[in-house]
Amino acid sequence: MKPFSVCLAALALSASAIAADDAVLLRNADVYPVTAAEMKNASILIRDGKIAEIGEKIVVSKGMKTVDLKGVRVYPGMIDSGTNLGLTEIGSERVTNDTGEIGEFMPQLKALIAVNPDSATFGVTRVNGITSAMTYPGGGRGGGGGGRGGAAPQFIAGQAAMIHLSGWTWEEMEMVRGAAMQLSFPAIAGRGGRGGGGEEPEGGRGPAPFTEAKRNYDQQIQKINDFFDAARQYQKERTSNAPGFTKDLKMEAMIPVLEQKEPVAIFASQERSIRDAISFVDRQHVKAVIIEPRDLSKVAAELKAHNIPVILGRTEALSQDEDDPYDKEMTLPAEAYKAGVKFAFGTFSNEWSRNLPFNAARAVTFGLPYEEALKAVTINAAEIWGAASMTGSIEKGKWADLIVTDGDPLEVTTQIKAVYIKGKEVPLTNHQIDLYRRYMTRP
């Protein structure tokens, strides 16, 4: 057995050396590159996992594997900009969750190294045409914490990674190791429920709720600034190799952030938090992406002025405020677009990651131009997370992250016919499909 596999490896090596053998040609498809106009009857040559060529006339060399895609479409694989894929298996079972480490500032933590490549969710998500995702170290969504319930608030959860949704190991899945530093921006606790029956909160004569909450909020922001200031001081000492300088893993992890190589993914939902987050970004001179800005419409102009992109959550959502229009969350992407704010979509839930395209479609239903919705799940995400040279469109030199469909990839009834990740066709199966096949045969 052993000599055989060695032999195979040797063969593969020599094959790639003389080109050709691992190359695949997808022929006669309608190609939607996203960054360029649609091409009818075009072919895509995949070599070494990358898009080697796109065109109507690509010469088929001898022995080259070809796939005829007449009558179907090829799109770039989609990107979910908000998940905990690989880190969380079953939401309610703590032992299967690796998000939300203990500690207020934990920039040294890396989501990537905890990604379980065999998580059942990868297969479920892939077959719907999602080929990459941002996976975050924290499960939190804003609110001065994001740590586990009852634990002390967490501000920096660690580094989110951009990954491919297929690979034998997390190293193979890695696209951008430190794609963003996850920061939960403080918030003043919002009202719960839907406006209720007008009940007054009990204990109206008690301690001042807002004054207290505001003080706490300001202190938390100060704490974050202090941490960034300390990191900058560390950076200075490190550069000048100051006497007595010792390496600090937390601070080391902050260097790419301070050098604007790694954006801060700031979870800020409410208007006040978003505004203060923008001030924070200004003050700290960092690159930032605002995550799930539910109050976006009130601060869109400022976001645009500061050139801060945002990740919008699911449009399959409702406002908590009973007075808001029923379609408020669904029109948010259209508003971001009109204001000129750059955005991508995140589902912020592993289970709903597979519904990413439907959330994008829903934005179109409520006013977003279709092309913008498609960009928001492909090229925009790649650009925001520093992966535009790798994925997000069908362009020469990028990874061949492709999906083959029988129609509009955002539409619920469209079938995904094939999925390519890094040029490899991913089998269209998963735990759910296995069960389907098995139980259809139960007598």
Partner 1 sequence: MKKILLLAFVALAVRAEVTVIRNATIMTEGAKGTVKGSILVRDGKIAEVGENVLVPEGATVIDANGQWVIPGIIDCHTHIAVDGNVNEGSVSVSSMVNIKDVINPEDIAIYRALAGGVTVGNVLHGSANAIGGQTIVIKMRWGKDADGLIFEGAKPGLKFALGENPKRSGSPQPGSNAPLRYPATRMGVEDTIREAFNEAVAYKAEWDKYAAAVSAGQHPVPPRKDLKLEALKEVLEGKRYVHAHCYRADEILMLIRIADDYGFKIRTFQHVMEGYKVAKEIAAHGAGASTFSDWFGFKMEVFDATAYNAAIMASKGVLVSVNSDSENGELMGRLNTEAAKAIKYGGMSRENALALVTLNPAKQLGVDDRVGSIEVGKDADLVIYDKDPLSEYAKAQKVLIDGHKYFDRDEDISGRAGREAEKQKLLEMEKQDQAQRRRGPQ
Partner 2 sequence: MKQRRLLVLIACCVLCAVAVAQPEPTAIAIRNARIVTVSGAAIAKGTVVLREGLIESVGENVAPPADAMVIDGEGLTVYPGLIDALSAWGIPSPAPAGRGGAAPAEPRAWGPEDRPQTTSWIKAGDLIQSNDRRFEAARDAGFTSAAVFPNRGIFCGQGSLINLAGQKPADMVLVPTLGQLIALHTSPFGAGFPSALMGVISYIRQIYLDADHYVAVKAAYQQDPRGMKRPDYDRALEGVLESKRILLPANRWVEIERMVRFAEELKQPTILYGMREGFDARSVDHLKGKNMPVLVSLKWPEAPRDRNPDEVDSLRVLEDRAKAPSSPAVLNRAGIPFAFYSDGIDQTRDLERAVKKAIDNGLSRDAAVRALTLSPAEIYGVADRLGSIEKGKIANLVVTRGEIFDDRTKVEMVIIDGKKYTPAPPPPGRGGAATENRP
Among the candidate windows 54-62, 271-279, 284-292, 325-333, which touches partner 1 by CB under 8 A? 325-333
> Do β-strands 416-421 and 402-405 pair in parallel, antiparallel, or remain unpaired?
antiparallel
**Residue entry with tokens 């301070």:** 258
Picked from partner 2, partner 1, none, the partner binding residue 184 (CB below 5 to 8 A depending on kind) is none
Taking CB under 8 A as the criterion, the residue among 212, 218, 322, 371 binding partner 1 is 322
152 part of the interface to partner 1, by CB under 8 A: no
Residues in contact with partner 1, counted by CB under 8 A, come to a total of: 44
Among the candidate windows 98-106, 180-188, 194-202, 239-247, which touches partner 1 by CB under 8 A? 194-202
Q: In what order do the strands lie in the sheet with 174-184?
A: 78-83, 130-135, 156-164, 174-184, 264-267, 288-291, 310-312, 343-345
Picked from partner 1, partner 2, none, the partner binding residue 243 (CB below 5 to 8 A depending on kind) is none
Q: Which residues pair with 108 in a beta bridge?
A: none
> Do β-strands 73-76 and 24-31 pair in parallel, antiparallel, or remain unpaired?
parallel
Closest separation in Å from C-beta 304 to partner 2: 22
Task: Name the strand (E) or helix (H) holding 214.
Answer: helix 209-239
Count how many Cα atoms sit within 13 Å of the Cα of residue 399 in the half-sphere of its side chain.
Answer: 28
Count how many Cα atoms sit within 13 Å of the Cα of residue 282 in the half-sphere of its side chain.
Answer: 10
120 part of the interface to partner 1, by CB under 8 A: yes
Taking CB under 8 A as the criterion, the residue among 97, 148, 366, 395 binding partner 1 is 366
Binding mask 419-438 for partner 1 (x = CB under 8 A): ------------xxx-xx--
Distance of alpha carbon 285 from the chain centroid: 23
413 part of the interface to partner 1, by CB under 8 A: yes
Instruction: Give the 3-state secondary structure of 74-102.
Output: EEECEEEEEECCCCECCCCCHHHECCCCC
Closest separation in Å from C-beta 105 to partner 2: 26
* Closest to 70 (Cα-Cα) out of 118, 9, 27: 27
Count how many Cα atoms sit within 13 Å of the Cα of residue 317 in the half-sphere of its side chain.
Answer: 25
Picked from partner 2, partner 1, none, the partner binding residue 411 (CB below 5 to 8 A depending on kind) is partner 1
358 part of the interface to partner 1, by CB under 8 A: yes
Is residue 24 within 8 A of residue 43, CB to CB? The reply is: no
355 part of the interface to partner 1, by CB under 8 A: yes
Closest separation in Å from C-beta 370 to partner 1: 9
Task: Name the strand (E) or helix (H) holding 180.
Answer: strand 174-184
Which CB atom, from 270 or from 350, has the smaller least distance to partner 1?
350
Picked from partner 2, partner 1, none, the partner binding residue 177 (CB below 5 to 8 A depending on kind) is none
What is residue 98's DSSP assignment? Answer: -
Binding site residues, partner 1, CB under 8 A: 89-93, 120-121, 124, 150, 194-195, 197, 316-318, 322-323, 325-327, 350-351, 354-355, 358, 361-362, 364-366, 410-415, 431-433, 435-436, 439-440, 442
